[in-house]
Amino acid sequence: MADELVKQLLSQLPPPLNLVSAQLAAVAKCAFSIATPVLSLISGPATTVDTNGVSPMLINTLLLILIVTFLLKLVSAVSRWMYNMVLTVIRIALYFGLFAVAWSIYNRGFSSTKEDVLEFLETVGANEHLEKLAQQAAGATYSSGRSTKRG
């Protein structure tokens, strides 16, 4: 009965998991052979169909919990992989940007590269923020309105 139940449950798996249904069937058969004596002690005698003294409802519930746990672990692994890929793409973009600026400084000089970078920042709208930071670095004004120059 357990083999029929496993075949029935595995036939209802979504398409990506159909590829590993043979491996899942072997795992389920092994789990049944180990868990059947324990489950028969817990659930008592079967009421409807004889499955070696284990209730079919309990078997279905445990298999459902096993499948859901497996799927959650799979989703967790995929989400960690996606997170790592996004971080890798961001790092590559930053390294490429640094390389492009260094190459531009090497080929065109610092002043031309500085003008190009400031023009780019104006295009994206970050120039105002950088001007405030430059003023603060020069000691002109801070957000409190006090001057830091001492005379």
Of 76, 78, 44, 74, the C-alpha closest to 58 is 44
Going through the chain in order, the beta strands assigned E by DSSP cover none
* Structure token digits, residue 138: 């020069």
Amino acid at 21: S
What are 4's two structure tokens? 């029929």
47-68 pLDDT, tens digit per residue, is: 545 556 667 777 788 888 888 8
Buried-exposed string 59-80: b where 16+ CB fall within 10 A, e elsewhere: beeebeeebeeeeeeeeeeeee
Q: If you search the block for the tokens 């950088």, which residue do you land on?
A: 130
pLDDT at 151 over 50: no
Mean pLDDT across 78-96: 91
Q: CB-based burial of residue 56 (10 Å sphere; 0-12 exposed, 13-18 middle, 19+ buried)?
A: middle
Q: What is the pLDDT of residue 94?
A: 93
More confident residue, 67 or 9: 67
Where does the pLDDT of residue 4 fall: very low under 50, low under 70, confident under 90, or very high at 90 and above?
Answer: confident
Q: How far apart are the first and last CA of the chain?
A: 94
Does the predicted TM-score (pTM) go above 0.75? no
Lowest average pLDDT, out of 38-42, 45-49, 139-143, goes to 45-49
When mean pLDDT is compared across 23-27, 60-64, 70-74, the lowest value belongs to: 23-27
Give 140's pLDDT tier (boundaries 50, 70, 90). low
Per the CB < 8 A criterion, the answer to whether 132 and 120 are in contact is no
